[in-house]
Chain A
Amino acid sequence: MTRTLTTACPRNCYSTCGMRVTVEEGRLRRIEAHPSNRATPEAVCLKGLSYVERAYAKDRVLHPLRRTASGNFERLTWEDALELIAEHLSRLRAEPQSVLFYAASGTKGLMNGAAASFWRLYGGCTTTYGDLCWPAGLEATRLTLGANEHNAPWDLANARLAVFWGKNAAETNVHQMAFVQEALDRGAEVVVIDPRRTETAERATLHLRPRPGTDGAIALAVAHRLIERGWVDEPFVRAHVLGFEAFRESVRTRTPAWAAEIAGVPGGQIERLATLLGTVKPATINAGFGIQRYTNSGQALRAMIALLALTGNVGKPGAGWMFANLKSQVFHPVKDPMAFYPPERPDGVFRVSISTALLGPHMLATSDPPLRMAWVERGNPIPQNPETPTVLQAFRALEFRVVVDEFLTDTAREADVVLPAKSMFEQTDVIGAYWHDYLQIKQKAIEPPGEVKPESEVYRLLAERLGLPTEAVARELPGRSDAEVEAFLEARLRVVSPALTLERLREGPVRAPGAMDVAFADLRFPTPSGRIELLSEEAARRWGVDPLPSWREPAEWTGGESAKPHRYPLHLLTPNTKNRIHSQFGNLPSIRALDPEPVVRLAAEDARHRGLRPGDRARLYNDRGALTLRVRVDHGLRPGVVVVHNGWWLSEGGAVNVLSKARETDMGFGAAFHENLVEVEKA
């Protein structure tokens, strides 16, 4: 029997593709794009296609496992696994906050809420605040525009100028490139600001390759130039922008020459960027996530948004700021970055005390009670969080670790008990997105293989075994049958909109309530002043930064405790590739065939100075750690910058965070782990 079902990809990715999955005789056969998702109508990416391989991968965890004394894993029955976990949870229940619950972005969905419900019933736990990914940018946007919303993805085709500031859409948001080409075919200009000559840069009419961490300086100099040349949309600024005069004063000395010196790009290129922004309309700035993982990056993004405010490029088709669109985050409060912040009044149940950016150091420093156990799901924090060696040390210092995963990741390998996680095809769920604004169903298409149980069921079983109050468990945690799961979801959909049902979502993606093609079209900004705030008192109060966008040297340059810029002259960039979502997918044979081993890319002159030739083995190091990798020479890379792609595992010898520093961004409790200076030598 062949069935075709609507589903969607729940990974942490801009595209969040709508999908149609074909199932033959109970087995996945193929994945195609769902044509009614206008943002991803043509096709899914190579990773989405590889799900057919992923669901049936030979190395998938299909049974509970226990780590043996020799470090191998042996199979455990569910009965024994639950008993073992329940023993530890019962023992620690007097001090529930000695248990760390850590979840990351591995799988999105409404069903993930079961975790918080379980831990609340258990009596609490310790959790994290902040996020690895995007908080500085979310906060910069919230402070400036009042909300994280942007124009619909397809609206980019209306832009006459599309600036990609640190975003390589061709690899991380491939569907956006269709709209880029549409804009190009209509005569648009594309600007790319990226130290790498990326695939996206191949379409650019202007490509700046700045020193990493200097984007804010460039933005301020562009603002200086826009003001100097009279390219400010004065009626717009008068009506809708707060703090223009103060900002004008503050950028008076921020000349292109000043920024050129800092960023290491020709002043003429900065002037050309200003000319384009001043004279070509409508203009959209697409900011990537990588550029806001610095200690000065919230301020940098505020400066970028200011460029659009000055030129009136807000609230119009083809114009605006594209960072993240949280319109479809209707179920849980990601809508506002403040959801990532520690609560102002702790509820006494959850101890929200561990900064995600500082996971390792904070875990080790936690006391009263200290952490004794960790439960990790949807994440692989050991290679993916800053300062991998400290994270590893912190996990090893615990008494007991449970990791829920589809594969034996670096983190799962450290667990005492590994529980098999469902794949995206094995339980129905509903997901939002952050580039387009569709709500989508992620449907159960096949029965879980082996002894895999969805997490919600595991929590239910654990709750029973721990003797948690039956009524509360029945109320808070979804039941085990498909019908109960669907009822759980329906109840939550109804709250959002009566028209929103699973039946409707099975037909195809649905745009979130209030979705619109042009964000801020009414020019009402939910900021304290109701205007676009170049001057933000809240920024100063909450984060201790200059109330105006400004630039200061990243902490790593000025020589923090472990940074020695003179000894480590190279900036390490760790961008994502099309082949993985962070540390996912790289283990699949098809992906491995395309991307077999981690490499370090060096500019030709940096390689030459170190006597390195293509294919040589090189040691990449700083005071925090070292990696030994093969060399590729990249003639398009800015000299002084080296690149290792993010997502390789420790066991593959390419985990980039052995070199990074646990440090927070200037705002939003993000991780500033892209400030990373290293040296390279022949191995």
Chain B
Amino acid sequence: VSATPPAFVHDLATCVGCHACVVACAVENGNEPGGFWRQVVTFNEDRHPSLPVFHLSLACNHCLDAPCERHCPALAIARDPRTGAVLIDGDRCIGCRYCGWVCPYDALRFEEARGVMGKCTLCHHRLLDGGTPACVGSCPTGALKLGALDGDGPRDVAGFPDLGIRPAIRFLPRRGRRPDPAAEEAAAAAGAVPPGTWPEPPRKVSLRSEWALLAFSSLVILLVAWLASSLVGGPRVRPAPFLALGAAGLASSTLHLGRKERAWRAALNWRRSWLSREVTAVPLFLALAGGHLALGRARAVGALAVATGFLALCCADRVYAVMARERRPRLDDAAAAASALFLAGVLSMQPWLALPAGVARLAAFVERVRIRRAWPGASAWALAVARVGVGLALPLTVVVTPAAAGLALAGAAAVAGEILDRAHFYGSLEVTTPRIRMAGDLAAGRAEGAHA
């Protein structure tokens, strides 16, 4: 079932950024203030002379190839066969927020009251009654309509690149204004757009919001590394703490869910969602590890458990990498698996494993710092010293100059370093939004056709 939704046709000439569409949507659909389903994103809000000012009125675009639908682990998002609207089933949604991360248009909102995600429904209820969406019916200048997706107009405007997922929205170009010689002169004379604006476009994720995921992923990395190292001469896996940490990891994985009682649903979309695959592989790893311990540490079962564990970590890495459709691959796209490899090398005091993995970890850190620059709330130097000096150099030194007394220190330092690095990973995670993308386009002086 895949009815094609009608497309939003948004006229960049007549839209004056009045926000009536936003409030109309909020009133019709009972949005909480601050949780508006629709947003108006303004290009060049600070009015730099070199660039025009215009607005995009955006909500869910009911993409024909919708990432939210594809990646929802709980199979809670589906296209309605009657209207073509992509809809969230509030009885199935587990409130994991992942759809909000994979949507490049920032269309999804976590609704605190219900613990599930919400977004534009294309005013499905009104369409079925023969009406139009509230936003479309509430535009004082007639700038937002419903129409056919095919037609003229820029495919690609600042903040809204064509990412190949076929959003059901089309823009009509700015038009009608005759050139203003003075403005053109000023535009030519103006330098680059200066950096720094206030308020900055809000970021969707932060370390503060993702601490439960940090705890979960750090524990899984640690447990996979511990089990793997134990198979190649590292410290023996002691069942009580291992399984206790495993249980803690599983528990922490549910902490960020809006509807914890539905956590089991997260495994349902194993056919298409890396998140479902991760969610399936982690308990399997813990079960196999338990079997390994119960069966007198049978090596074959242990190896299978380690393989499953790395599979889970690779899935976890894919969970983050699928958001990166607008950039080249990075070393961080394998961050969790590499982290476990490095820890396994240090814990087992195996230079052949620790050294190359450590170099890869260093490279990933350097790459991340270069791209993201800022470390939220702490000095970059302290971070670099802790990450590289304590987390990498110290354990590697111990590994290449073996001293039995150093093992505990090296292991602790490496674990601390990897947790710190994981925190940095989450703290600098890029979940891009039209607002963030628009700021980038502004800095680059691009208004239209920027992403062709």
Contacts and interface: CB of A to CB of B under 8 A. Distances in A.
* Chain A partners chain B: yes
A63 interface: no
B27 A49 contact: yes
Given A32-B138, A46-B22, A631-B198, A206 B16 contact: no
Given A32-B137, A45-B18, A578-B18, A189 B178 contact: yes
A630 B24 CA distance: 29
Nearest to B14: A181
A614 B196 CA distance: 7
Interface string A36-73: 00001011111001101100000000000000000000
Interface in A190-210: 190, 197, 199, 202-207
A614 B198 contact: yes
B20 A46 contact: yes
A590 B182 contact: no
A594 B19 contact: yes
Interface in A435-468: none
8 contacts: A32-B137, A33-B140, A49-B138, A177-B140, A203-B177, A207-B182, A614-B197, A614-B198
Nearest to B25: A49
Given A207-B182, A635-B46, A49 B23 contact: yes
A45 B27 CA distance: 13
Given A170-B16, A590-B26, A181 B140 contact: no
Nearest to B174: A202
B204 to A, nearest CB: 17
Nearest to B177: A203
A636 interface: yes
B221 to A, nearest CB: 37
A276 B46 CA distance: 29
A573 to B, nearest CB: 15
A589 interface: yes
A12 interface: no
A43 B20 contact: yes
A49 B198 contact: no
A52 B198 CA distance: 31
Interface in B1-38: 13-14, 16-20, 22-24, 26-28, 33-34, 36
A200 to B, nearest CB: 8
A592 B33 contact: yes
Interface string A268-281: 01000000000000
A655 to B, nearest CB: 22
Contacts of B142: 42, 178
Contacts of B18: 45-46, 170-171, 174, 578
* Majority SS at the chain B contact face: loop
Given A185-B176, A206-B182, 5 more contacts: A44-B20, A178-B14, A185-B175, A199-B53, A594-B22
Nearest to A631: B198
B397 interface: no
Contact of A42 (B16, B23, B54, B140): B140
A632 B177 contact: no
Interface size bucket, B side? Answer: 35 or more
Point out which of B24, B36, B140 has the most chain A C-beta atoms below 10 A from its C-beta. Answer: B140
B141 interface: yes
Given A614-B198, A635-B49, A44 B182 contact: no
Contacts of A27: none
Interface in B104-158: 134, 137-142
4 interchain residue pairs of minimum CB distance: A636-B47, A615-B198, A184-B176, A614-B198
B19 A177 contact: no
A468 B261 CA distance: 68
B180 interface: yes
Contacts, number: 136
A199 B16 contact: yes
A637 interface: yes
B199 interface: yes
A633 interface: yes
A578 to B, nearest CB: 5
A205 B52 contact: no
Contacts of A579: 19
A203 B140 contact: no
Given A174-B141, A207-B183, A202 B53 contact: yes
Contact of B47 (A42, A593, A631, A634): A634
B247 to A, nearest CB: 41
Contact of B140 (A174, A207, A589, A590): A174
Contacts of A590: 23, 26, 33
A593 B32 CA distance: 10
Contact of B141 (A181, A190, A604): A181
A579 B183 CA distance: 28
A82 B18 CA distance: 43
B180 A205 contact: yes
A53 B31 CA distance: 11
